[in-house]
A and B are shown apart, each in its own frame.
Chain A
């Protein structure tokens, strides 16, 4: 009996495992190997060059621009998205009393999630158009024409303009996620807080936030990974792309250009491997930080 069961499990799992190894794990492993070669992407041979590609990363000015920009995005995008998401979600909920038409708002917030990121980037490209775009036209219409800028063509605004699009396109999803989490909080807790004289901010600070903590943590990991990417929006929307003058360069874009325009697949693989480790470190750090703090919030048994 037991044997038959094991045999069945084995037979059911092995094909899936083999497919996973061949189509998921092996490309990763190949990328690791290729990052140590000078493979051009069109030749049958690749020469082993050791850690040359990695040494090169450290002195490649464009790649360093990309790392800097991704780091800024990593600091800003998750914080802004989660802050905005929590704010809107708690407004929709308002301490358990709910908001009339809350679901309609939720649909509006969620709408950008239905569009492909490329379409979002194209639309925002029109919005940012310096002459006919919605943003500058709006500013001029309300008499703030002096604030109109070439948003995507001025280095001091370009990255912020890109980050605004990333936040805009993802905030709706987190509103829905956080609202579901807040809805799961027993109403009595909010009631008790109200009876104790807590206002909107205090009940958010002391009731809502601690109880949606795990959702926020997961959101941080997801948004962190998204902030380390940013390729599609930058590629479609920005000057150059990646410009002006490297102001919106991201690692994904450097990688793509190095591989497909410059024919340096080995070097591009090194960028990919570096990005992989950055993402992995981020995920481990974010989840580990959460684990240390969790017992403390549940009775201080740390």
Chain B
């Protein structure tokens, strides 16, 4: 049998080369298709700014709103839209409630044809730092300085909870505004603790003593969502923030040399290494997903769980009746702390933005002014048991144990809320920190190695000229 007469099962070298050459010639031409969207999309001419219309909305300009339709649904956004229609009856509103906002919006941004308001939230959202770097986000400064609805004499800026404006600030410009307010802390079941006579600890020394007692009672002191080590990062970084204060956080976010070697951080890493070393983390937690770990906690197999304030709505139907979960502030490291023990990590989510190339940017901002009105925020809190970013929106509401404890924590913290920005600014650094913390609490690296590893990642990032840097 002559091999050459058989059909070739694979492409000959020459065919491959020829194809490659053709492809490389065609590539720049075709590639131009992907990125051909140019800065078109001229914004609609705004109307004159008046007391009634502080943002200069053109009354008949259509408005396109894209909202993430996740756990909170999109009813609240539609309610704000109907208020917009009342004000501007001639404006036609195009509403879209989507699950995967990023995938749907990416080609629109590329084409220079984005909607007027986007709620960039949920799995598959677009990376905000990338959007900022590409100049895709419009400045919300004039919205913040506009008078707030329902609250005479106040600007929108004055009605927001601490940290909300900072969260949306990139390079000195406010480009996103978060509608919900997330607070992180340690969760426990109030009746469970009362029944066993356990008191929520104020310091880490008390925490360790309590953990010993809890373990003696046959309950694991802690569990965590090990599949995603970032959950345990939050209390660790909270301990560090309380020890080192705002300076420590600023050094970390600004990629200051040796920021991750600050004593506050190594001390916090030591605390968590000790928690793990004494066996206070429920065995097997390191491989559990968030649903599995949280279910184990709801079954009273573990006493403490680190999580953000979305926990109650996530555990709806899993937590048994009378479980009455409450959130406490992460205990303080010691007497030399720079922040009080009541300080909490808090930041906004459900981040709304007005694209730079929106056709009706004034309308988009006006829509946000209505959404962030107290009345609309209050209705949202009632429907979703989640704290909105508007201060006082829950005043006078009867709240469940979880949301009540979150509100109390925010009140107790006052101005002492803090948040790290590196997670949103530098996603690859956030991954390096998550990985290192996972290794730390599984006792595969020491607290010193933890600092060294993360510092190395931070240094590499600081040197990387292709990443846009931010400071605070």
Contacts and interface: CB of A to CB of B under 8 A. Distances in A.
B228 interface: yes
A150 B292 CA distance: 14
Given A32-B24, A150-B287, A44 B438 contact: no
A173 B126 CA distance: 39
Q: Which of A25, A29, A262, A287 has the most CB of B within 10 A?
A: A29
Nearest to A284: B10
A215 interface: no
A298 B444 contact: no
Nearest to B12: A284
A114 interface: no
A30 B435 contact: no
A45 interface: yes
A12 interface: no
Contacts, number: 146
A34 interface: yes
Nearest to B131: A42
Contacts of B226: 153, 239
B364 interface: no
A29 B27 contact: yes
Interface string A240-264: 1001111000000000010011111
Given A130-B287, A151-B287, A239-B287, A44 B3 contact: no
Interface in B4-29: 9-11, 16, 23-24, 26-28
Given A29-B27, A240-B435, A39 B287 contact: no
Contacts of B10: 283-284, 287-288
A131 interface: yes
Contact of A240 (B111, B112, B438): B438
Contacts of B434: 240
B336 interface: no
B435 A28 contact: no
B227 A131 contact: no
A196 B284 CA distance: 57
Interface string B422-460: 000001100100111011001010000000000000000
A40 interface: yes
A173 to B, nearest CB: 20
13 contacts: A29-B26, A37-B35, A40-B130, A42-B109, A43-B134, A44-B110, A62-B431, A129-B292, A153-B226, A239-B229, A239-B438, A240-B229, A291-B9
Interface of B: 1, 3, 9-11, 16, 23-24, 26-28, 30-31, 33-39, 102, 106, 109-112, 124, 126-127, 129-131, 133-136, 226-229, 283-284, 286-289, 292, 296, 427-428, 431, 434-436, 438-439, 442, 444, 466
Given A261-B427, A283-B10, 7 more contacts: A37-B35, A41-B106, A52-B466, A129-B292, A263-B129, A263-B130, A294-B3
